[in-house]
């Protein structure tokens, strides 16, 4: 029965069966398994009529070409692929499929198989034509759009004026998944609503209803592969990265080049004989084979934690840290002695550190993070070092208020820029003004003299044109009643437009 063909559901729905009949590659009898009809009917009930249309098209082509087109009532206890393989083995008929894995299984069993990929009008590589395309964005009923440029300097463009149909995008989805299964990449995660695929250099996210309001493909490709030397970093920073830094944060806004820098840093350590691992969700860093990349999508935090502690890499690149579980995993591994490089979304360098506050005990932060590198427009804009000291916090006056303070310094100038400390029940992140004007010094002295009549536990802050005084809850009413007008006069005298009293 070599002239009997058994198409699977993908061959019918994708239009492969129709094309093979038109090309003359299928002659004889075509048997449509009843499970395919149930599958197509189920999808049509949810608004997807592609399978119905392709089934009707295949039947008409069969009639035109005198190909027998019959319905096969199959065993409902087996899956469709199992039922087709069992029948093909018994009868010697040929399975028709666009599924690479299914074709390989059939060949391994000695089953005749006719395999071909789904033909698509739009190909991924063609949309990435031009070296400056960072990502493509495809959605049904919209024309293709691309993000073109470089980190921090990109534009969003619509290419062409023809909207993509659902069928065209489904064809591209079939091709992407088939290529991934054929060994060109791997499927990172798959649910009813979304699929994440790494296909060569492309990181692809596919979403579909009901998770999204339409079928959509987003594909991102690194447009630059840089070494650490390409960044022209100061020798002082290079020396720190090589000799001292073991708790590193790479921070920046989305699309600014954080992952590119992390990749360059990983290769920098690899060239120096270090053992490098990565934690990614999904895995999309383009790194040499010597670097083992772990998927947070496929493995739990506890599994990754245990594996890394047992394998003891010199550095682990964590790309990207998003939720509390990620920050705790980074902290646990760092405190266990593993060198960590974390990639964090942040609009400023200090924001990256603040994301640890509340998730990690304040005094532990300098043991977890020693270097923060802020990336903007693909380059290094700011570098912070972090240390723990006992001192009177900035903005406080009484020596009795000395406490542990996390001091954040500009690494290249060694000037302090922020202090973080606990005062009362609150954690304060205070910017340090390195050069105070005489008027500001006068404000601190005058306000301090006034407040010390009622409390020694206070903090003074001048923020732009605002004077903010922080006092304990128990003394707040009396200071509000007796000091507010005097504070307003002090502020007005110094050109400040607002004065407020807040509870610590």
User: Three-state SS string across 267-333, please?
Assistant: HHHHHCCCCEEEEECCCCCCCCCCCEEEECCCCCHHHHHHHHHHHCCCEEEEEEECCHHHHHHHHHH
Are 3 and 31 in contact, with CB atoms under 8 Å apart?
Answer: no
| Residue 191 pLDDT > 90 | no
Would you place residue 152 in the very low, low, confident or very high pLDDT band (cuts 50, 70, 90)?
Answer: low
| Residue 1 pLDDT > 60 | no
| Residue 93 pLDDT > 80 | yes
Distances (CA, A) of 290 to 246, 277, 308, 326, 435: 20, 9, 15, 24, 49
pLDDT at 340: 95
Q: Note the pLDDT tens digit of each residue in 333-379.
A: 999 999 999 999 999 999 999 999 989 899 899 999 999 999 998 89
Would you place residue 160 in the very low, low, confident or very high pLDDT band (cuts 50, 70, 90)?
Answer: confident
* Cα 139 from chain centroid (whole Å): 20
HEC string for 320-382: EECCHHHHHHHHHHHHCCCEEEEEEECCCHHHHHHCCECCECHHHHHHHCCEEEEEECCEEEE
379-391/371-376 β-pairing: antiparallel
* Cα 384 from chain centroid (whole Å): 24
- Output the domain CATH number for residue 459: 3.30.300.180
The H helix count followed by the E strand count for the chain is 16, 25
Would you place residue 382 in the very low, low, confident or very high pLDDT band (cuts 50, 70, 90)?
Answer: very high
Mean pLDDT score, 450-470? 85
- Output the domain CATH number for residue 167: 3.30.450.90
Q: Note the pLDDT tens digit of each residue in 430-458.
A: 888 654 545 677 788 888 888 888 888 88
Among 112-121, 154-163, 217-226, 431-440, the least confident range: 431-440
- Whole-angstrom distance, CA of residue 102 vs CA of residue 83: 13
Of the three residues 63, 92, 115, the one that is the final residue of a domain is: 115
HEC string for 119-148: CCCCCHHHHCCCCCEEEEEEECCCCCEEEE
Query: Looking at the structure, do residues 137 and 269 belong to the same domain, yes or no?
Result: no
Residue 474 burial (CB count, 10 A): 10
- Whole-angstrom distance, CA of residue 50 vs CA of residue 56: 10
What is the total residue count of the chain?
Answer: 504
Query: Looking at the structure, do residues 384 and 258 belong to the same domain, yes or no?
Result: yes
Q: Output 479 or 151, whichever has higher pLDDT.
A: 479
| Residue 287 pLDDT > 90 | no
Q: Note the pLDDT tens digit of each residue in 99-128.
A: 888 999 999 999 999 999 887 777 787 888
Query: Looking at the structure, do residues 29 and 59 belong to the same domain, yes or no?
Result: yes
Query: Looking at the structure, do residues 369 and 250 belong to the same domain, yes or no?
Result: yes
Query: Looking at the structure, do residues 280 and 406 belong to the same domain, yes or no?
Result: yes
Query: Looking at the structure, do residues 273 and 334 belong to the same domain, yes or no?
Result: yes
- Whole-angstrom distance, CA of residue 154 vs CA of residue 250: 21
What is the number of domains present in the chain? 4
Q: Note the pLDDT tens digit of each residue in 32-86.
A: 998 899 989 988 887 778 889 999 999 999 999 999 999 988 666 678 888 899 9
Query: Looking at the structure, do residues 197 and 278 belong to the same domain, yes or no?
Result: no
Query: Looking at the structure, do residues 288 and 334 belong to the same domain, yes or no?
Result: yes
Query: Looking at the structure, do residues 427 and 348 belong to the same domain, yes or no?
Result: yes
Q: Note the pLDDT tens digit of each residue in 243-280.
A: 889 999 999 988 788 988 999 999 999 999 999 999 98
Phi, psi of 427 (to 5 degrees): -100, 125
- Output the domain CATH number for residue 101: 3.40.50.1010
112-115/94-97 β-pairing: parallel
DSSP 8-class letter at 17: H
Query: Looking at the structure, do residues 268 and 383 belong to the same domain, yes or no?
Result: yes
Structural domain that includes position 139: 124-220
DSSP 8-class letter at 458: -
Query: Looking at the structure, do residues 292 and 210 belong to the same domain, yes or no?
Result: no
Of the three residues 401, 431, 461, the one that is the final residue of a domain is: 431
Which is nearest to 63 in space by CA: 30, 33, 85? 30
pLDDT at 435: 46
Query: Looking at the structure, do residues 341 and 374 belong to the same domain, yes or no?
Result: yes
């Amino acid at each position: 029965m070599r002239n009997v063909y058994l198409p699977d559901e993908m061959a019918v729905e994708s239009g492969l069966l129709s094309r093979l009949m038109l090309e003359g590659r299928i002659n004889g009898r075509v048997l449509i398994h009843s499970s395919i009809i149930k599958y197509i009917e189920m999808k049509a009930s949810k608004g997807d009529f592609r399978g119905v249309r392709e089934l009707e098209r295949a039947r008409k082509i069969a009639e035109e070409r005198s190909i027998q087109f019959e319905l096969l009532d199959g065993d409902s206890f087996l899956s469709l692929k199992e039922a087709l393989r069992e029948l093909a083995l018994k009868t010697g008929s040929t399975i028709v499929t666009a599924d690479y894995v299914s074709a390989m299984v059939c060949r391994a069993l000695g089953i005749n198989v006719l395999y071909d990929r789904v033909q698509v009008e739009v190909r991924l590589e063609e949309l990435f034509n031009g070296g400056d395309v960072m990502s493509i964005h495809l959605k049904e009923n919209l024309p293709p759009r691309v993000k073109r440029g470089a980190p921090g300097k990109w534009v969003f463009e619509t290419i062409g004026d023809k909207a993509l149909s659902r069928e065209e995008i489904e064809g591209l989805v079939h091709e992407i998944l088939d290529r991934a299964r054929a060994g060109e990449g791997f499927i990172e995660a798959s649910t009813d609503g979304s699929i994440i695929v790494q296909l060569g250099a492309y990181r692809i996210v596919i979403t579909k209803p009901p998770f999204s309001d339409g079928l959509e493909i987003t594909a991102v490709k690194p447009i630059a592969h840089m070494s650490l030397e390409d960044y022209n970093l100061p020798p002082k920073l290079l020396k720190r990265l090589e000799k001292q830094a073991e708790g590193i944060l790479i921070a920046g806004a989305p699309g600014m080049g954080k992952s590119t820098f992390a990749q360059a840093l990983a290769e920098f350590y690899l060239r120096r004989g270090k053992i490098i691992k990565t934690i990614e969700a999904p895995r999309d860093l383009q790194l040499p084979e010597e670097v083992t990349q772990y998927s947070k999508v496929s493995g739990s935090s506890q599994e990754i934690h245990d594996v890394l502690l047992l394998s003891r890499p010199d550095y682990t690149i964590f790309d990207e840290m998003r939720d509390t579980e990620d920050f705790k995993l980074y902290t646990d591994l760092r405190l266990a002695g593993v060198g960590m490089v974390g990639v964090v979304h942040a609009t400023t360098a200090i924001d990256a550190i603040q994301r640890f506050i509340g998730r990690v005990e304040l005094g532990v932060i300098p043991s977890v993070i020693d270097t923060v590198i802020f990336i903007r427009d693909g380059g290094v804009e700011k570098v912070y070092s972090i240390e723990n000291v006992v001192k009177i916090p900035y903005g406080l006056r009484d020596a009795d208020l000395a406490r542990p303070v996390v001091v954040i310094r500009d690494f290249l100038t060694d000037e302090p820029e922020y202090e973080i400390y606990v005062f009362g029940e609150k954690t304060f992140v205070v910017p340090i003004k390195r050069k105070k004007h005489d008027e500001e010094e006068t404000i601190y002295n005058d306000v301090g003299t006034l407040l010390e009549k009622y409390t020694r536990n206070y903090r003074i802050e001048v923020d732009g044109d605002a004077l903010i005084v922080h006092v304990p809850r128990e003394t707040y009413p009396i200071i509000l009643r007796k000091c507010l007008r005097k504070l307003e006069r002090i502020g007005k005298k110094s050109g400040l437009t607002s004065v407020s009293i807040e509870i610590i």
